[in-house]
Amino acid sequence: MKYVNEFRDGAIAQRMASEIRRIVTRPWAIMEVCGGQTHSIIRNGIDQLLPEQIELIHGPGCPVCVTPLELIDKALAIASLPNVIFCSFGDMLRVPGSSKDLFRVKSEGGDVRIVYSPLDAVTLARANPDKEVVFFGIGFETTAPPNAMAVSLAKKQGLKNFSVLVSHVLVPPAIEAIMSSPINRVQAFLAAGHVCSVMGYWQYPPLADRFRAPIVITGFEPLDILEGIRRTVTLLEAGEAKVDNAYARVVSFEGNRPAQKILEDVFEVTDRAWRGIGTIPQSGWRLSAAYREFDAEQKFQVSGIETQESALCRAGEVLQGALKPNQCAAFGKECTPRHPLGATMVSSEGACAAYYNYGRFITLEKSAEACPVP
Amino acid sequence: MNFENWTCPLPLQDYPSVVIGHGGGGKLSAELVEHLFLPAFRNSVLENLGDSSVIAAPAGRLAFSTDSFVVKPLFFPGGSIGDLAVNGTVNDLAMSGATPLYLSAGFIVEEGFPMTSLAQIVQRMAAAAERAGVQVITGDTKVVERGHGDGCYINTAGIGVLADGLRIGPALAQPGDVVILSGSIGDHGMAIMSVRESLEFETTIESDCAALNGLVADMLDASADIHVLRDPTRGGVASSLNEIAGQSKVGISIDETKIPVKPEVASACELLGMDPIYVANEGKLLAIVAAHAAEAILARMQAHPLGAGARIIGMVTANHPGMLVAKTGIGGTRVIPMQIGEQLPRIC
């Protein structure tokens, strides 16, 4: 795989890790914002290559995780309605609401379908004019353009039976909220490369400046992440609160202008509740007035939803780096990927689930023994 | 055998689609048996058409296995539900070290299913049985109302025979044993994904669907010091090795970089956010063997067409019992857990 395998080279990874060991002189706490990066770090064991002084704090950038329970319950209620085809990306199907998940709704007769693009949902709406087709549009800036495209297309085609349950969230307000928290320990950020491929990184210099924290745009492959960490440590050691782009093969300063344009047209900024963190002002997108008719929350007045988060769950502290997943008393006991108590255990990209799935609760001192490979 | 140009024998031509009566036990059922199943599977035991088939008891011990097949779509690159129905049960028998001998075939067909498709499935089953050296000696057909089945479901059960003294089973892995994988992983699962409704993508990936009893016979010929055999079907290599670690109460360590994955399979997995180690195979096996026998077994596997890509991928250890641990490509380690359900394509 061109442009993938090159960035997974074991020998270069070892060299980069030793370079990081060479330049680091004291402890630093760095947050990788995106869940895809958390997943890659834990899956590949990138953190195991790093010097002790570097602590990676796993950020809130997993859209499945931070989607509020209330919205998931709304999705379940809409998906259960007769005459509705409810479309979602695959990994939302297993996310538990208060009492069930979309798989269970499907088994109970709900028409729940996995799609691979929101445009597939538009096609379904056109092919099923007697049904209401609803797409579950969640995610950060990365997944927003195709969702905006779907809504825009539905409007152009005059579709009356298509709507989107929107819960888009935005990275810069989350960084602001984390840095403003009284329990914050984060000193620098690896910014999410794919978010920046859409939005560019013109939003970040004011944040770096205001919080005196370097921000390095970082990709997802092992070498991308090591390079992001190397540049971050270099800036931290030099005391420079600058923005640097370690993912230049994908990300430009201004980002994808046509995508930004359609986002401005279809969405407007709104306050958003983040599961595990709480409401962050101006931290999400909802459909703008011109497209409100495609808002599933307006179309299906689902009421009587009462949700209660577990009192045991400390996801908020995990998301802010105040607690490691395996330091939580409920981790691996009351709370597992099968029975998640909170946001970070829900999706494979959540910090708690990543720790659980890759066995970071077990001491593996002898497990790295060499295999007898000829 | 030419499946595409196959034409229905005369009596079946009156019914281009399966009707309820084909499962009713009357004249239509008899025509189906006489003109479709018998010619395809023809053997002296089946020809008796008794309520049960009677065979002489072979010497040694018997292995008995059953499996049901519900794949969608029914025909996919590299195979069909018919190939799977034969090879799946043959492989289950072979994984205990048995020589597969006889199969049963139960069809549940949906009313309206094209007769030519049923015939193609049956022809493919017959060809697969011939390749595997097994006989289909009993069968049954039921027809369910339209809308109550996905075209065609098949159940097969199989009987095999194994020599006294041979002990192969999932609880018999021992620390120090070597883990061998017979070839590249993920081919079947990604071939199916590539033709799934709503996800068609252009690829040359073909299912690896094949009967492994010949390969197993060669391996046993090289050495009887084989402790565990497993065909990593649903849940892939990860699930099989986790099950073995659990049942044998040992740990298993593998080196991720030693696991062969075809570039096109790796690309498709990458695109969908899937890990090939969890993707299904239908023509691969994992063998856990005594260390001293590993090289001899590996050499024999590599000399067989279905084991040409065989490699040692890891070892069994007394550490971390019940767990599968992998050395990652960049030199880290990770635990590879069982999956809760199917792998799901990720949002981003």
pLDDT tens-digit series, residues A189-202: 999 999 999 999 99
B313 touches chain A (CB under 8 A): yes
Do the chains contact at A10 and B319, CB–CB below 8 Å? no
Give me the half-sphere count of Cα atoms (radius 13 Å) on the Cβ side of residue A194: 18
Q: Are residues A115 and A150 in the same domain?
A: yes
Do the chains contact at A140 and B348, CB–CB below 8 Å? yes
Q: For chains A and B, count residue pairs whose Cβ atoms are closer than 8 Å.
A: 137
DSSP single-letter state for residue A83:
T
What is the predicted pLDDT for the residue at B138?
A: 96
| Within a domain: B169 | no
List Cα–Cα distances, A140 to A173, A341, B274, in angstroms.
12, 23, 21
Q: Which of B109, B136, B162 is the last residue of a domain?
A: B162
176-215 in chain B: CB under 8 A from chain A = 178, 198-199
User: Sorting pLDDT into bands at 50, 70 and 90, what band is A373?
Assistant: very low
Pick the more confident residue, A203 or A92: A203
**Residues sharing a CB contact under 8 Å with residue B179, sequence separation 6 or more, in sequence order:** B241, B252, B254, B286, B287, B288, B312, B313, B314, B315, B316
CB nearest to A369's CB, from B295, B317, B323: B317
User: Sorting pLDDT into bands at 50, 70 and 90, what band is A362?
Assistant: low
With beta carbons under 8 A apart, name residues in chain A contacting B253: 367, 369, 371
A45 touches chain B (CB under 8 A): yes
Share of chain A above pLDDT 90, in %: 70
Domain ranges, residue B64: 18-50+59-162
The enclosing domain of B105 has a CATH number of: 3.30.1330.10
Q: How far is A260 from chain B (nearest CA, A)?
A: 18
Q: Are residues B276 and B187 in the same domain?
A: yes
**Residues sharing a CB contact under 8 Å with residue B305, sequence separation 6 or more, in sequence order:** none
Q: Are residues B114 and B153 in the same domain?
A: yes
3-state secondary structure of B320: coil
Q: Are residues B203 and B323 in the same domain?
A: yes
Do the chains contact at B333 and A4, CB–CB below 8 Å? no
ipTM: 0.83
Q: Are residues B143 and B291 in the same domain?
A: no
Reading the block at residue A22, the tokens are 């060479």
Pick the more confident residue, A309 or A54: A54
What is the predicted pLDDT for the residue at B8?
A: 63
3-state secondary structure of A160: coil
What is the predicted pLDDT for the residue at A366?
A: 39
What is the predicted pLDDT for the residue at B202?
A: 78
CA angle, B278 then B282 then B284, to 5°: 80
| Within a domain: B173 | no
Reading the block at residue A172, the tokens are 């810069």
The enclosing domain of B317 has a CATH number of: 3.90.650.10
- Asked if residue A368 has pLDDT above 70, the reply is no
Q: What are the DSSP calls for B121-179, one per residue?
A: HHHHHHHHHHHHT-EEEEEEEEEE-TTSSSSEEEEEEEEEEE-TT----TT---TT-EE
A10 touches chain B (CB under 8 A): yes
For B327, nearest residue in chain A (alpha carbons) = A368
Share of chain A above pLDDT 70, in %: 96
Do the chains contact at B270 and A1, CB–CB below 8 Å? yes
Q: How far apart are CA B204 and CA B191, in angstroms?
A: 8
Domain ranges, residue A71: 65-170+280-299
Identify which of B204, B208, B343, B183 has the alpha carbon closest to the alpha carbon of residue B269: B343
Give me the half-sphere count of Cα atoms (radius 13 Å) on the Cβ side of residue B151: 17
- Assign residue A145 a region (left: φ > 0; alpha: ψ between -120 and 50; beta: otherwise): alpha
What is the predicted pLDDT for the residue at B10?
A: 59
Q: Classify strands B324-327 and A84-88 as parallel, antiparallel or unpaired.
A: unpaired
State the total domains in chain A. Answer: 2
61-120 in chain B: CB under 8 A from chain A = none
| Within a domain: B123 | yes
**Chain segment A142-194, per-residue pLDDT in tens:** 999 999 999 999 999 999 999 999 999 999 999 999 999 998 999 999 999 99
**Residues sharing a CB contact under 8 Å with residue A295, sequence separation 6 or more, in sequence order:** A163, A164, A166, A286, A287
Give me the half-sphere count of Cα atoms (radius 13 Å) on the Cβ side of residue A334: 10
Look over chain A and give the mean of its residue pLDDT values, rounded to a whole number.
91
State the total domains in chain B. Answer: 2
Let me know: does B330 contact A222? Beta carbons within 8 Å.
yes
Q: Are residues A90 and A135 in the same domain?
A: yes
Question: Is it true that the peptide bond before B175 is cis, omega within 30 degrees of 0?
Answer: no
| Within a domain: A268 | no
Identify which of A47, A57, A353, A15 has the alpha carbon closest to the alpha carbon of residue A225: A47
Strand partners, B156: B67, B105
User: Sorting pLDDT into bands at 50, 70 and 90, what band is A371?
Assistant: very low
Do the chains contact at B335 and A358, CB–CB below 8 Å? yes
Whose tokens are 């008891």? That residue is B57
| Within a domain: B342 | no
- Asked if residue A348 has pLDDT above 80, the reply is no
| Within a domain: A141 | yes
| Within a domain: B304 | yes
Can you give the length of chain B in residues? 348
- Asked if residue A370 has pLDDT above 60, the reply is no
Instruction: Return the amino acid letter for A268.
Output: E
Q: How far apart are CA B71 and CA B142, in angstroms?
A: 18
| Within a domain: A256 | no
User: Sorting pLDDT into bands at 50, 70 and 90, what band is A363?
Assistant: low
Q: Are residues B137 and B280 in the same domain?
A: no
Q: What are the DSSP calls for B57-111, one per residue?
A: PPSSEEEEEEEEE--SSSEETTEEHHHHHHHHHHHHHHTTT-EEEEEEEEEEEET
What is the predicted pLDDT for the residue at A365?
A: 42
CB nearest to A371's CB, from B199, B254, B341: B254
Do the chains contact at B334 and A367, CB–CB below 8 Å? no
**Residues sharing a CB contact under 8 Å with residue A226, sequence separation 6 or more, in sequence order:** A13, A16, A17, A20, A46, A49
The enclosing domain of A151 has a CATH number of: 3.40.50.11740
For B178, nearest residue in chain A (alpha carbons) = A372
In b/e form, how buried is each residue of B42-51, taking b as 16+ CB within 10 angstroms?
eeebbeeeee
What is the predicted pLDDT for the residue at A307?
A: 83
Let me know: does A148 contact A263? Beta carbons within 8 Å.
yes
CA dihedral B281, B284, B286, B290 (to 10 degrees): 180
Q: How far apart are CA A210 and CA A241, in angstroms?
A: 9
Instruction: List, run by run, the mean pLDDT of 10-residue segments along chain B (348 residues).
Output: 56 85 91 93 91 91 97 94 98 98 98 96 97 97 94 98 94 98 97 81 90 98 97 96 97 96 93 91 98 98 98 96 94 88 68
Q: How far apart are CA A89 and CA A108, in angstroms?
A: 19
CB nearest to A366's CB, from B266, B312, B319: B319
CB nearest to A48's CB, from B251, B254, B332: B332
